[in-house]
Chains A and B, each alone.
Chain A
Amino acid sequence: MSNTDLEIIVEDPTAPEDDSPSVVSTHTIEIIVSLVLLALAIALGFDNWRTGIAWDSTGPQPGYFPFYLSVILGGASLYGLITTLFARSGGADTFVTRAQLRRVALVFVPTALFCLATQFLGIYVASFVLIAGFMRMVGKIALWKSLLTAFVFTAIMFVTFDVAFDVIMPKGPIESALGR
């Protein structure tokens, strides 16, 4: 048995280049995340303080437990913020390169649009459009293959959830026109 030759090869022509310039450093992102978490901790802490963090006749008030969690979250974020600020890593560590960001946006933007479409067109139509569109535009796969795959996948989902398991999914004008 000497089948040492590679038998499965998949190419990735649109892979992000390795030498792509950095968009933002991990250092910066860590600072931003710490600030966001700190703000969140303050907002939640304030809300819980308003709900009541003291003790009444029945025990701790509803805000008691989450208030102290907000304090812990705030403290940990503050600690993270300070250590990151003083770490002075020089911004050499890349959070994401431009080519990577482009690829991530390539999935993220269609996904967000898909969510929006689900709200108005129902999940089945949105899925069909997402799969067919993504395969055609991003994957550069032949149009008939894209349409067929999208149709088969959506049909399987519809049969599995709507017909077999009775799980209700958001539907839009097309399904109601067909009487489902």
Chain B
Amino acid sequence: MEAFGLLMHGFAVLMTWKIISLMVVGLVLGIFVGVLPGLGGPNGVAILLPLTFTMDPTSAIVMLSCIYWGALFGGAITSILFNIPGEAWSVATTFDGYPMAQQGKAAEALTAAFTSSFIGSLVAVLLITFLAPMISSFALKFGPPEFFAVYLLTFCSFVGLGREAKHKTVISMALGLLIAGIGMDTVSGTLRMTFGSTDLLRGINFLVAVIGLFGISEILLTMEERLALRGHAAKISLRTVLKVWMDLPKYWATLLRSSVIGCWLGITPGGAIAASFMGYNLAKRFSKDPESFGKGRIEGVFAPETAAHASGTAALLPMLALGIPGSGTAAILLGGLMVWGLNPGPLLFVEHKDFVWGLIASMYLGNVVGLVIVLTTVPIFASILRVPFAAVAPMIVVSCAIGAYAIQNAMFDIWLMLGFGVVGYVFKKIGIPLAPFTLALVLGSRAEDAFRLAMIGSGGSVGVFWSNGLVGTITTLAITLLFWPVIDKAFSGVGRMLRPMAQTP
């Protein structure tokens, strides 16, 4: 059990007062961010990232990942008490969570949500602990063609499996890759797409774009809505917690099913949103009494929350093992790695053992501490919503601006952030997805380097992507996924043509 020993080492790294207190600060900030309207996981992490610039990488990642866990916990509070999903992945939680609150069972619903979040993350962290080292040692054999093939697979699966209109996903991705290429070319030193501007020389920083795309645009979108809200106050007593926990074993099937769905969708870029809906729908379908869903059934809270958290956590697996983020937030954490001077990818497990295992250990610890914090402090966080949006909005704007400026100490970046805010607002309203854009921005230059190195190695023949079994399989899989909707349609078309023929004789 090599992984186990390394994990223990990770815990030893964490057990200092400095890191534990950073963890608590991160969790509280995260819950705060998850509860506030107009801020979510990716925004919170992006805005608070500059705080960590002067820290050592381990403290920084512990704090940031705790912000992420906190945001995941926080989203449940507003969905249950106010019927307002703080995050898109909490939408499914409102279906049964809010009816429960209306029936006076808010405390039960919240306990159920937090506990199942905890279980979901735990399953995903176990998966990461044992699978990530294996994948990364396998990936150490990868050369540039393999890496490019894996990047291609990530991009293609977004296009093929995403629910948005295909051309919009392609637009989002191509734009992200292009923007990542602006500035000095890393291979030849040539300036590209700068149009003579000295500000563009440095290139467009990924984090500046993310802060604008998620932070500023979210404020604009939130202002469009009616911000009035009516909700229940709740206080969780120890007795309620124990009562819900005693009932847990009854729902083992739901919990297990949702965890598996979540882990799978987290690793592939399906994401927490899809996972939470799928978890909910499957729980409903397998239930003996599907009619009672949507009317305040505790299983309807367990299922989506477990899946959402399992997925949110599992998204970190490809990021750690391969350097490919499974979600928008993971992409931002990956951006953080580069700022702290670490090179994401399989070598991370070899070169920075302390960092990787500290992070994995912090996932265990952060979730335990997070569970305790949310269970004890729900009333305080629920009352944050009393703070008028007119006070919250300018503070978020200021935090965004500070975050954008701090990355490269450039005033130009504040203007860029504003521009990306408008782009994000328009894109969200016309249905151009932002996740592929984020992913393309963070992976862009590395994908291009891998492509060029592979091409140089092969003397310019595209055949290099089919030169051995491994890279050939990945490339073929990527292209299959890209055209999956077409293939799927063709197959069902052929099936439809064959069926009448089979029936006629």
Which A residues have a C-beta under 8 Å from some C-beta of B?
A: 1-4, 6-12, 15-16, 26, 29-30, 33, 37, 40, 43-44, 47-48, 51, 55, 58-66, 69-70, 72-73, 76-77, 79-80, 83, 95-96, 100, 103-104, 106-108, 110-112, 114-115, 118-119, 123, 127, 130-131, 134-135, 138-141, 149, 153-154, 157, 160-161, 165-170
Contacts and interface: CB of A to CB of B under 8 A. Distances in A.
Given A12-B226, A62-B187, A66-B178, A80 B51 contact: no
A107 B219 contact: yes
A161 B402 contact: yes
A115 B389 CA distance: 20
B223 to A, nearest CB: 5
Given A16-B226, A165-B51, A123 B405 contact: yes
Contacts of A111: 216, 219, 397, 418, 421
Nearest to B432: A33
A119 B393 CA distance: 21
B102 interface: yes
Contact of B232 (A6, A16, A48, A160): A6
Nearest to A68: B174
Q: How large is the interface on B (under 10, 10 to 19, 20 to 34, 35 or more residues)?
A: 35 or more
A60 B455 contact: yes
Interface string B205-216: 000000000001
A100 B388 CA distance: 18
Interface in B193-243: 193, 195, 216, 219-220, 223-233
Given A10-B385, A73-B174, A118-B414, A141 B390 contact: yes
B316 to A, nearest CB: 25
Given A8-B382, A12-B226, A107-B219, A65 B388 contact: no
Contacts of B460: 55, 59-60
B232 A7 contact: yes
Interface in B398-448: 398-399, 401-402, 405-406, 409, 411, 414-415, 418, 421-422, 425-427, 429-430, 432, 448
Contact of B398 (A15, A44, A58, A131): A131
B171 interface: yes
24 contacts: A1-B107, A4-B104, A8-B233, A8-B385, A11-B228, A15-B228, A26-B429, A37-B171, A48-B192, A51-B192, A65-B181, A76-B167, A76-B170, A76-B174, A103-B224, A107-B220, A110-B397, A114-B401, A115-B414, A131-B398, A141-B391, A165-B54, A167-B50, A169-B405
Nearest to B81: A8
Nearest to A63: B192
B298 interface: no
B167 A106 contact: no
Interface in B364-392: 382-383, 385-386, 388-391
Contact of B390 (A48, A134, A170): A134
A58 B455 CA distance: 10
Contact of A104 (B174, B223, B230, B406): B223
B456 interface: yes
Contacts of A15: 225-228
A66 B430 contact: no
Given A70-B174, A76-B170, A80-B165, 18 more contacts: A1-B104, A3-B106, A10-B228, A43-B195, A55-B460, A64-B452, A65-B181, A69-B174, A72-B174, A83-B167, A100-B223, A103-B224, A107-B393, A111-B219, A134-B394, A153-B398, A167-B402, A170-B405
Contacts of B406: 161, 167-169
B171 A73 contact: yes
B53 interface: yes
Q: Which 7 A-B pairs have the closest CB atoms?
A: A139-B390, A7-B233, A59-B456, A12-B228, A73-B174, A15-B226, A12-B227
Given A72-B170, A77-B171, A157 B402 contact: yes
B189 to A, nearest CB: 9
B233 A3 contact: yes
Contacts of A73: 170-171, 174-175, 178
B185 A62 contact: yes
Contact of B430 (A30, A59, A131): A30
B168 interface: yes
Contacts of B193: 44, 47-48, 66
Contacts of A72: 170, 174
Contact of A51 (B190, B452, B455): B190
B223 A103 contact: yes
B188 interface: yes
Contacts of A12: 226-228, 389
B401 A26 contact: no
A16 B448 CA distance: 46
B395 interface: yes
B224 A104 contact: yes
Contacts of A51: 190, 192
Nearest to B226: A15
A10 B232 contact: no
Contacts of B181: 65-66, 69
